[in-house]
Amino acid sequence: MVEDFRAFLRVIYSDWVAFVSGSFTVPFLAAAILFPREPVPNFWGMLAALAGFIAALRAWQVEHKQRLALAARIVNRKQQQEMLDELSKYLGRSKSLLAQPVTDQHKVQDYVDGVNDLCRSVLAFLATNYSIAEANTWYSVSEPPYYPHMTMYPAAQKAGALLAVRHDRLADFIRFKQKDLGLAVES
């Protein structure tokens, strides 16, 4: 992109010289031969004016396309940042669920429901905003780790173990996306 007006004028001038000495000479030479009564300076004046107009139009068009591309990148970056902020909220919910001890049989189902609700929310968010492949990578866990502090309640132990693996994967995914955007990576 051109940063100042002088550089913009230099671009227009270089295009203008290329047009005047190149591609525009053939049609105007043919016009001068076909219309011999018209004075040649008029043809060259029209050539210069038309070449200047087209050079300015081309320079503006290139600048305009680059500006639109830059604006799209800025909007895309803001959307990516908003999505990472949303994923960080899910990560916080996951961390609080992992820190919550399940000590009562009556709270097991609430815990499992909370884990399942969080997993459904994150899965839907990843599938909607990123891709199905990334959502499947996050969601599929072949063998969850064993957490001895939850052995009393197997359903809570399994839900917590799955959540722990998915929590780590979500944290890795957020770090990867932050690096991809060139942001400071949170640990």
Cβ(144)–Cβ(161) under 8 Å?
A: yes
Cβ(126)–Cβ(134) under 8 Å?
A: yes
Distance in angstroms (rounded) separating the CA atoms of residues 116 and 124: 12
pLDDT single digits (tens) 100-145 = 777 777 777 887 888 888 888 888 888 888 777 777 777 776 655 5
pLDDT single digits (tens) 59-100 = 888 888 888 888 877 777 788 888 888 888 888 888 887 777
DSSP letters spanning the chain: ---SHHHHHHHHHHHHHHHHHTTTHHHHHHHHHH-TTS-HHHHHHHHHHHHHHHHHHHHHHHHHHHHHHHHHHHHHHHHHHHHHHHHHHHHHHHHHHHHS---SGGGHHHHHHHHHHHHHHHHHHHHHHT-HHHHHHHH--SSPPP-GGGTT-HHHHHHHHHHHHHHHHHHHHHHHHHHHHTPPPP-
3 pLDDT band, cuts 50/70/90, is low
The pLDDT of residue 186: 60
**Alpha carbon of residue 150 to chain centroid:** 41
Distance in angstroms (rounded) separating the CA atoms of residues 26 and 32: 10
The pLDDT of residue 184: 66
Chain-wide mean pLDDT for the chain? 77
Query: What average pLDDT does this structure show over 177-182?
Result: 76
Geometric angle at alpha carbon 175, from 173 and 179, rounded to 5°: 115
Whether the model pTM is above 0.85: no
The pLDDT of residue 101: 72
